[in-house]
A and B are shown apart, each in its own frame.
Chain A
């Protein structure tokens, strides 16, 4: 089975500070990381690979990321965590892509790889949209399942999954090829192995541009994006209020008053 996992390199923390003088974001010294949700997607991809291989179907995991050249670091880390190889989708022409164009570009790259199963994290912690994974499925015209919390069964043709939704869990059967987005509950990611680290070091990571994946200029980047960001601002800081200290009984009394005022009790 050919498995792919899409990952995104995101800022190391979303704790972007605000310069009070200029009211702009200070992101100096902020390192990068693999989007946390993508680590669960990657882990699940590697687990499925191991499961299928053990069942007599030799399988591989290819990890793919669209981003600037430095996103290669994220791909190497993914190899150290068990992916077999990686592809970097990077081109000036992709710059400014919104979720439509990002899912399009990734889908075009995936078409070239032709996987049976694609994993994505449920959303990225910088964009917070959760739209790219399901978008890839529509561009690829294949089945999809979002917010997957468990893969119950899988064979070469279909799988049974459990999805986490607001009111509980939904169980579905999904035909392959399919795109899944996963939630944190699905597994506990492993740490890099020594062998993985060595693989990561020596891996050759091809860089694909728009032409390599047959993505025309009018469907990618700012030009192809239906949405446009016109303004970015920092919201006002939330101020703290009153802080009460004292004996438990006093605190309970005060808290009770607060809840009474708010018509809770």
Chain B
């Protein structure tokens, strides 16, 4: 492998120097020169160069016969028999990819007492549902799930394997990819089959400041975890149902060095921000922890989840599970309502891909207004209670058409 600059194409314009994250390019005599000591071969300069003067060569080829791999797989994540919403989004994009490759779409599900979940999945436009049902698989166990999924993937050889970029998907799919020695691209927001017949996986990096397109050319399956709420959910199939195939894992796959002892669901309010359709987030502008109740009251009215800025979490006003932003969660709901949040870049990276952003802030110069579709310069402590009252009044009033 090597990185080279074509002297006949390079004119020393310095664009590559600016694109380099590790200061590994110098211009000497109007020619870009790579400082190999610092270069991490990220390819940013290759993309940045307008004259196609920089190239990275890898002498590499597939060791396996890739034509043996067929089909698009979706990991059917479930908890207590409830299929995770992202799975239906995966079925939608998975169907597109499978059609583009003229191959089948399969869902693989692991668990215990999951007959209902299997029936639900079979009602969607998938060709097969592979079912691993065993008491040992009742609760998620990274090691055990990883082993079972690695084993079945090795046997049945899918070409593409998608999972949700959930806490579960991200942690154990990494293990599956490592065991299979294949590539896994995290948190994809774009997936398509290129002219080269490969899966082109696009994902944000550097907090969404750049988008990188990634291939897995020489090994299979091509694996991706996929961000929530980027792809629409699949419709149910019109008729018939998918073929259900029961598989029996070898008991030797069940060994594990960890054990789930308990699960405590957060009750009382919605903290599952990633699946929420609407999120109302509060920041420093709320003034004190008690004022989160104003937010919660509105959230209850419009069935929203409550989020928070880092400032509010660090002040101890609300628990970390609610934090949106660089050191919290990345969310993309249909509507994001930022209340008393100035919108520092660290917050923005966690929410700027929301469909519609609404901001309420006292400071007309708050950065949040630069990305908000609807900005309201005002005091959240006045605006929100009145809004809630108005919504309640409408709900309470008899159904009459206003026009």
Contact = CB atoms under 8 A, between A and B. Distances in A.
Interface of A: 11, 13-16, 18-19, 22, 24-28, 36-37, 68-70, 92, 95-96, 98-100, 103-104, 125-135, 137-139, 142-147, 149, 160, 163-175, 178, 181, 183-185, 221-223, 225-235, 238-246, 248-249, 251-252, 254-256, 258-259, 262, 264-265
Contacts of A172: 258-261
A241 B370 CA distance: 8
Nearest to B217: A228
Contacts of A258: 358, 374
Contact of B41 (A25, A167, A221, A251): A221
Interface residues of B, number: 118
A110 B218 CA distance: 28
A48 B328 CA distance: 24
Given A11-B206, A25-B18, A172-B260, A164 B321 contact: yes
Contacts of B209: 14-16, 18, 25, 234-235
B174 interface: yes
B335 A146 contact: no
A124 B166 CA distance: 16
Given A14-B346, A173-B258, A232-B42, 6 more contacts: A16-B209, A27-B18, A37-B327, A174-B258, A239-B371, A251-B378
Nearest to A238: B371
Contacts of A225: 183
A226 B260 contact: no
B391 to A, nearest CB: 5
A264 B335 contact: yes
Q: Is the interface of B mostly helix, strand, loop or mixed?
A: mixed
Closest 9 CB pairs of A and B: A96-B41, A226-B183, A143-B257, A227-B183, A129-B186, A241-B373, A14-B207, A146-B171, A131-B174
B259 A173 contact: yes
A177 to B, nearest CB: 9
Contacts of B257: 142-143, 174-175, 178
B232 interface: no
Given A168-B263, A232-B211, A92 B37 contact: yes
Nearest to A152: B261
B212 interface: yes
Interface string B41-84: 11110011010000010111000000000000000000100000
Interface in B19-57: 19-22, 36-44, 47-48, 50, 56
Nearest to B371: A238
A130 B15 contact: no
Interface in B344-398: 345-346, 349, 352, 356, 358, 360, 364, 369-379, 382-383, 386-387, 390-391, 394-395
A255 B358 contact: yes
A98 B214 CA distance: 11
Interface stretch (B87-95, B122-130, B152-160, B270-278): B270-278
A241 B374 contact: yes
A249 B387 CA distance: 9
Summarize A's interface: helix, strand, loop or mixed: mixed
B293 interface: no
A36 B186 contact: no
Interface of B: 1, 15, 18-22, 36-44, 47-48, 50, 56, 58-60, 79, 140, 142-143, 146, 166-168, 170-172, 174-175, 177-179, 181-187, 200, 204-219, 256-266, 271-272, 274-275, 278, 301-302, 319-321, 323, 326-328, 330, 334-335, 345-346, 349, 352, 356, 358, 360, 364, 369-379, 382-383, 386-387, 390-391, 394-395
B40 A96 contact: yes
B48 A265 contact: no
Contact of A185 (B260, B320, B369): B320
Contacts, number: 326
Nearest to B40: A95
Given A172-B261, A221-B1, A230-B213, A24 B183 contact: no
Given A235-B208, A248-B379, A147 B183 contact: no
A42 B188 CA distance: 29
A37 to B, nearest CB: 7
Contacts of B167: 146-147, 163-166
Contacts of B335: 262, 264
A128 to B, nearest CB: 6
B207 A125 contact: yes
A34 B267 CA distance: 35
A222 B18 contact: no
Contacts of A146: 142, 167, 170-171
Contacts of B319: 185
A223 B386 contact: no
B212 A226 contact: no
Contact of A144 (B143, B219, B265, B375): B143
A64 B207 CA distance: 24
A251 B257 CA distance: 57
29 contacts: A11-B21, A24-B19, A24-B48, A25-B19, A25-B209, A36-B326, A125-B207, A126-B206, A126-B207, A127-B186, A130-B171, A144-B171, A146-B167, A146-B170, A169-B266, A170-B140, A178-B257, A226-B181, A229-B212, A232-B44, A240-B373, A248-B378, A252-B387, A255-B376, A256-B390, A258-B358, A259-B391, A262-B334, A264-B335
A183 B41 CA distance: 29
Contacts of B349: 14
